[in-house]
Structure 1
Amino acid sequence: MRLDFIRSLYEERGPFASVYMPTNRITKAVAVMVGLRWRHISEGLAEAGAPDEVIARIGEFVGDPAPGRAVFCSSSGVIFSEPLAAGPEWDIARWSALPHVMPLLAQRGERVPYMQVVVDHLGADVIVLSGGERRELVVQAEDWPIHKPAQGGRSQPRYERDVEETWRRNAVATAEVIAKEAVQSEAELIVLGGDPKSRHMVLDRLGRDVAQRVVVAENGGRSPGEMPKSYLRKVDEALRSWLVQRQNELVDAYRNGPAVSGLHETARALRVSQVAKVLVAEGPSYEEMVWIGPEGPQFSPDREEMCAWGVADPINERADAALARAVATTDAELWFVPELDSPEGVGAILRF
């Protein structure tokens, strides 16, 4: 994933309060629990040295309708916050030189830009999901004639041709919208469901590049107001398959090189903007401490190395926090993979 969405965090000077907390008080019992956990979090921040005004600003999110929230705040105010899909199992509260973003990145995962498309002879329902935004479109070029009559007669062939021409025009319109939106959203996947004949007509009219991104959902028809459940199950399956394939491709690229292994070598490559993608094995807790400087890519497990790079007074900080900052500020990408043959479960695919 690209970390552009948190880059603003590193335009501020720390220290930062990083908090992961439950927020939704949907029942009286849950409200009591959320209040108790917030008190524990606020006391921990105070003991760590966070100013009262920082704690108060974070406290304003208690009662948020989301199940939980990640909040990053400095003395200048809340710099970034994001609702969590599920409340955190345990509270995280840090007052430190760098924001502690890795738990957010791990839960967020890779947000694949993709499209949901369900078609019939009338047109299509299209949903585009990209960059954290969702857009819904309805495609329909013509709505008559749409059904072939059962009775015969002299006009039967002409009427059937008119119906098929309506189908064709709607398929053309749908294919044009799919192609345009796929380019604009940089969609990696297009899950195409609906009427079988309409699917084939649309597929036949897509360019090769776009057609290669299509996954066909055999089940599901157009339903006013919502996508069919059978179709949405296929969407989830397609997204999981895409992610597994992408992770495998990245691990293969890491093995074949050019690449570096381990936290120390990855840090060195990041400092010279040599890294295209950082790979992090899922599961391990990166509580190892490293030394950081004031600039984004400045970190190393070796304090003397930081001093040699011109950092007069290196600061001790969590390795995962330093790694995330370096990735965000060097235009690299961060990917979580199930396993990685590397010391500390960290490695990097190099640009050169």
Structure 2
Amino acid sequence: MHTDLFRELPTDSGPFVSVYVDDSHNTENATHSMELRWRSLREQLESDGAPTAALDHIQTALLDGERPVGVSGRGLVATAERVVLDQQLIRPPTASVARYSTLPFLVPLVTHARDVGSHMIAVVDHRGADIQIVHGDDVAYSETVAGEGHPVHKATGAETPGYGDPQPRAEEQARQNIRDVVDRLTSLVDRERPDVLFVVGESRSVSDLTAQLPQRIEDVVVNLGLGARGSVADSEISGAVDAEWLRRHNRVLAEVTDRFRAEQGRSSGLAVEGLTAVCGALRAGEVQTLLIGDIDDATVVVGEDLMMVAPSPENLSELGAPPNDVVRADEALPMVAVCTHSDLVSLDERLAPKDGIAALLRYAPRTSAGG
């Protein structure tokens, strides 16, 4: 995933509380179940020494905020000052995670978060459209387009002399309404540059719309195929959008896995694996995409500057930097990747690199990435 979501994290001083939990609201006792889950996680974090203020911030966000609809997961990262990340997940984590540590724990977000900058949703028919602009999890803007040719039905008593044939008028009004929607969507997409324009509506309305969209707009359209305007619940649209993000996530994962194997096969130097090689590539700013597998409880050593990361104190000393702290590798390496504007990908069973960590590089290193 792109790391824009994490950009402000390096400017926040830790330590951090990181929580990942199933916050589904699809049963009658969902609220009570969430309260019990959080109580257990809070007790664990308190025993680990997490500050009360940070726990209160997370509790407020989890229990007092707007509740999701249906199956849902939530990821939060907080300091004593504030919640620095609060994200709905594509799917709930299989088990709750709660950590109090020097650095934020980002891997579950990489695995389950919606990897989106922004998108639009247009629910259309031949009368007009309901449009939303969505940034992350938040609806930034919404409007309803009602075409100037709004009525699309034959007038009652159309056989009365003087009315003329209503069918051509109704068809022209419907076409004009679609043109109005096309014009407005084109303007908004050109202005907002969304990653995807999701379209909902009965098949003829969607077909008439996409037939008139400029190619540059049609290229970002995804037809969710859910049914007619006014007959589809918001929860259905949200679920279909999440399913599309998951499909795209899996496609990216497959592409990255294939590319890593290809670069390994041609010995290009653009694919490295293992803590030693990856730490070296991160220090040099060479990592284009960090591939995170099962790192388990491995640790790394960092200097006063987080960018000075190495597998052991000896490695760091050889670089002329005194060791400052020993931290978990699954926390430190993603944060270094964020600082160097690298993408992050969470691996599945298709690829199991040495030490559970690998990287695709921006360019072949001029010297070994070891150390």
TM range (shorter): 0.7 to 0.9
Once residues 235 and 82 of structure 2 are traced to their aligned partners in structure 1, the CA distance between those partners, rounded to angstroms, is 40
Q: Which letter does structure 2 place at the counterpart of 1:55?
A: T
**1:348 corresponds to:** 359
The 8 Å contact of residues 272 and 360 in structure 2, kept in 1 or not, is answered as: yes
Once residues 290 and 257 of structure 2 are traced to their aligned partners in structure 1, the CA distance between those partners, rounded to angstroms, is 11
The 8 Å contact of residues 295 and 357 in structure 2, kept in 1 or not, is answered as: no
**2:84 corresponds to:** 80
- Give, in angstroms, the shift of residue 244 of structure 1: 2.1
What does residue range 253-272 of structure 1 map to in structure 2 within 5 Å? 253-257=259-263, 258-272=270-284
1:166 aligned to which of 166, 170, 173: 173
Once residues 23 and 200 of structure 1 are traced to their aligned partners in structure 2, the CA distance between those partners, rounded to angstroms, is 38
**2:247 corresponds to:** 241
Once residues 147 and 193 of structure 1 are traced to their aligned partners in structure 2, the CA distance between those partners, rounded to angstroms, is 21
Once residues 134 and 172 of structure 2 are traced to their aligned partners in structure 1, the CA distance between those partners, rounded to angstroms, is 31
- Give, in angstroms, the shift of residue 204 of structure 1: 1.4
Once residues 7 and 266 of structure 1 are traced to their aligned partners in structure 2, the CA distance between those partners, rounded to angstroms, is 21
Deviates more, 1:272-281 or 1:173-182: 173-182
Q: CA RMSD in A?
A: 3.6
**1:195 corresponds to:** 202
- Give, in angstroms, the shift of residue 336 of structure 1: 2.0
Aligned-partner SS, 2:64: coil
**2:121 corresponds to:** 116
Any stretches of 5+ residues in structure 1 without a counterpart?
A: none
2:317 aligned to which of 301, 307, 313: 307
**1:43 corresponds to:** 47
Q: Which letter does structure 2 place at the counterpart of 1:280?
A: I
Q: Does 1:55 align with 2:65?
A: no
Once residues 287 and 147 of structure 2 are traced to their aligned partners in structure 1, the CA distance between those partners, rounded to angstroms, is 47
**2:147 corresponds to:** 141
- Give, in angstroms, the shift of residue 318 of structure 1: 0.6
Once residues 191 and 84 of structure 1 are traced to their aligned partners in structure 2, the CA distance between those partners, rounded to angstroms, is 19
2:289 aligned to which of 277, 288, 293: 277
The 8 Å contact of residues 128 and 136 in structure 1, kept in 2 or not, is answered as: yes
Any stretches of 5+ residues in structure 2 without a counterpart?
A: 24-29, 68-73, 264-269, 364-371
1:252 aligned to which of 250, 253, 258: 258
Once residues 279 and 33 of structure 1 are traced to their aligned partners in structure 2, the CA distance between those partners, rounded to angstroms, is 31
Once residues 145 and 309 of structure 2 are traced to their aligned partners in structure 1, the CA distance between those partners, rounded to angstroms, is 51
- Give, in angstroms, the shift of residue 224 of structure 1: 7.8
- Give, in angstroms, the shift of residue 223 of structure 1: 1.0
2:220 aligned to which of 213, 219, 225: 213
Q: Which letter does structure 1 place at the counterpart of 2:228?
A: G
The 8 Å contact of residues 140 and 170 in structure 1, kept in 2 or not, is answered as: yes
- Give, in angstroms, the shift of residue 290 of structure 1: 0.8
Once residues 281 and 42 of structure 2 are traced to their aligned partners in structure 1, the CA distance between those partners, rounded to angstroms, is 40
The 8 Å contact of residues 3 and 334 in structure 1, kept in 2 or not, is answered as: yes
Once residues 137 and 8 of structure 2 are traced to their aligned partners in structure 1, the CA distance between those partners, rounded to angstroms, is 17
- Give, in angstroms, the shift of residue 161 of structure 1: 4.0
- Give, in angstroms, the shift of residue 203 of structure 1: 0.6
The 8 Å contact of residues 41 and 91 in structure 1, kept in 2 or not, is answered as: no
Relative distance call for 1:22 and 1:155 in structure 2 (3 A) is closer
Aligned residue pairs: how many? Answer: 336
The 8 Å contact of residues 203 and 227 in structure 2, kept in 1 or not, is answered as: no
Relative distance call for 1:70 and 1:325 in structure 2 (3 A) is same
Relative distance call for 1:237 and 1:131 in structure 2 (3 A) is closer
Relative distance call for 1:208 and 1:250 in structure 2 (3 A) is farther
**2:19 corresponds to:** 20
Once residues 285 and 261 of structure 2 are traced to their aligned partners in structure 1, the CA distance between those partners, rounded to angstroms, is 20
Q: Which letter does structure 2 place at the counterpart of 1:212?
A: D
Once residues 224 and 58 of structure 2 are traced to their aligned partners in structure 1, the CA distance between those partners, rounded to angstroms, is 40
- Give, in angstroms, the shift of residue 171 of structure 1: 1.7
Relative distance call for 1:209 and 1:279 in structure 2 (3 A) is farther
1:332 aligned to which of 322, 328, 342: 342
Identity %: 20
Residues 111-152 of structure 1, C-alpha deviations (whole Å, 9 max, x = no match): 464332221111112233233322333122214442246956
- Give, in angstroms, the shift of residue 232 of structure 1: 5.5
Once residues 292 and 211 of structure 1 are traced to their aligned partners in structure 2, the CA distance between those partners, rounded to angstroms, is 48
Residues 142-170 of structure 1, C-alpha deviations (whole Å, 9 max, x = no match): 1444224695678645x444433322332
**2:185 corresponds to:** 178
Aligned-partner SS, 2:222: strand
Deviates more, 1:63-72 or 1:163-172: 63-72
Relative distance call for 1:84 and 1:294 in structure 2 (3 A) is farther
- Give, in angstroms, the shift of residue 292 of structure 1: 1.2
Deviates more, 1:35-44 or 1:197-206: 35-44
